[in-house]
Amino acid sequence: MQQPIQPVRGMNDVLPADIAAWQRLERIARELFTAYAYQEIRVPIVEHTALFKRSIGEFTDIVQKEMFTFEDPGGDSLTLRPEATAGIVRAMISNGLLHNQRQRVWCAGPMFRHEKPQRGRFRQFHQLDVEAFGYAGPDIDAELIMLSARLLDRLGVKRVELNLNSLGTPASRRVYRDDLVAYFSAHKQRLDADSLRRLEGNPLRILDSKNPELADLIAGAPVLTDYLDPPSREHFEGVCRHLDGVGIKYVINPRLVRGLDYYSHTVFEWLTTELGSQGAVCSGGRYDGLVEQLGGEPTPAMGWALGEERIVELLRVQGMVEPPTVPDVYFVIAGARAQAEGLTLAEGLRDALPALKLETHCGGGSFKSQLKRADKSGARFALILGDTEAERRVVGLKSLRVEAPQIEVPWEAVAAELRSRLSEQG
């Protein structure tokens, strides 16, 4: 026997038994994105490493230690995308989509970060991602948050809290940053290794530390809100006013910063306490400087990303388990003549009933063994075709879930019979 190949650590299979929850999430998201006039964009999973260094920031955890970076056979340094925004901005610029234009787009797919795998934290994970380009006002910030709220609501996610903050402009943040460095430097002996590293490159990120031993120290740190300049304050008040207007509840959390450097003004996170320490299920914010930073024309922008694994897990924890899809009808086919006719009959049914979930038995075997499989499949009905039925151009129709006599139906009447049976409850 060969040794089985192991999966890559932190990279998961989504098995057929669990796929229904994923499909529902993605279907509802797609419907809502379309309803809000966002269009899908698909960008490569691999980009030049420089893209992420320039956008996410040299001093972020992602760039410093979490990227899957490799040299391709041509000697270029490439990276598996750790997030979607950078690639989407790159695509906007590469394709000239921002020249005197506004864009509302969404994107879905796998992201890669070399993090320590644990519940809700993986090395390959999936995001649904929404971005709007060319809108400077607080109305789009609010709309994007409303969209995320509606999505969570429609999915049936319960007990999530919207945390909101403003990071202001880079100028106002610089003053704050200096004061923050002074504060943490005065307490250097209490910082952990990660925070000491951040103190040099990215002190705001210390506020985002998940180390409980730092909670006290962080609670006493200066608050960014006190440093906002009047235009930043006005923008933030605008966002809050719009959210109040539609009755979306939020908590202003002055310590909310994000793990990526490109944010300015609005940042937000939907948090749950029901997934252990991996509490963020959807996060985003405004990133007005990024397009220019990546070589495009200055363009205000805002977006968010939702972690699909975390949402699916939260729905599971909250008892919103999707039953796996089962066929409506299992088609039992036994005998040489029946086999010759069976697949043709099945194709005819698929033509007549496009939504029909029909599993035809393949691989032969007795009626008895096939009916066992039919029962196990979860189907409501079995169609039964043996040689004698084939000869008479009829098929047996048996109810598998409720007690009812088996009947015989002529081939040309099967589609109509199934249509009416399947529309009945039970």
Applying CB under 6 A, which residues contact ligand ATP?
83, 113, 115, 120-122, 125, 127, 258-259, 278, 280-283, 305, 307, 309-310
Question: Of the listed pieces 124-132, 257-265, 312-320, 352-360, which binds Mg ion according to CB under 5 A?
Answer: 257-265
Question: What strands, in cross-sheet order, belong to the sheet with 68-71?
Answer: 46-48, 77-80, 68-71
What is the distance between the alpha carbons of residues 246 and 238, in angstroms, rounded to a whole number?
A: 13
Sign of the alpha-carbon dihedral angle for 124, 129, 133, 135:
negative
Minimum CB distance to ligand ATP smaller for 148 or for 370: 148
Minimum CB distance to ligand ATP smaller for 83 or for 341: 83
**Chosen from Mg ion, ligand ATP, none, partner binding at 278 (C-beta under 5 to 8 Å by type):** ligand ATP
What is the distance between the alpha carbons of residues 50 and 86, in angstroms, rounded to a whole number?
A: 11
Q: Name 118's bridge partners.
A: 121
Distance in Å, CB of 396 to Mg ion, minimum: 57
Which residues, in sequence order, are CB contacts of 383 under 8 Å at separation 6+? Answer: 329, 330, 331, 332, 395, 396, 397, 398, 414
Distance in Å, CB of 262 to ligand ATP, minimum: 11
Distance in Å, CB of 234 to ligand ATP, minimum: 26
Site for Mg ion in 189-218 (CB under 5 A): none
145 backbone dihedrals φ, ψ, rounded to 5°: -70, -40
Minimum CB distance to ligand ATP smaller for 302 or for 345: 302
Site for Mg ion in 258-297 (CB under 5 A): 259
Minimum CB distance to ligand ATP smaller for 28 or for 422: 28
Q: Give the three-state DSSP class for 83.
A: coil
What is the distance between the alpha carbons of residues 343 and 345, in angstroms, rounded to a whole number?
A: 5
**Chosen from Mg ion, ligand ATP, none, partner binding at 227 (C-beta under 5 to 8 Å by type):** none
Distance in Å, CB of 220 to ligand ATP, minimum: 22
Q: Name 303's bridge partners.
A: 131, 285
**Chosen from Mg ion, ligand ATP, none, partner binding at 296 (C-beta under 5 to 8 Å by type):** none
Residue type, 3: Q
Distance in Å, CB of 202 to ligand ATP, minimum: 13
Tell me the three-class secondary structure of 182-227, residue by residue: HHHHHCHHHCCHHHHHHHHHCHHHHHHCCCHHHHHHHHCCCCHHHH
Distance in Å, CB of 265 to ligand ATP, minimum: 16
Residues that bind Mg ion (CB under 5 A): 259
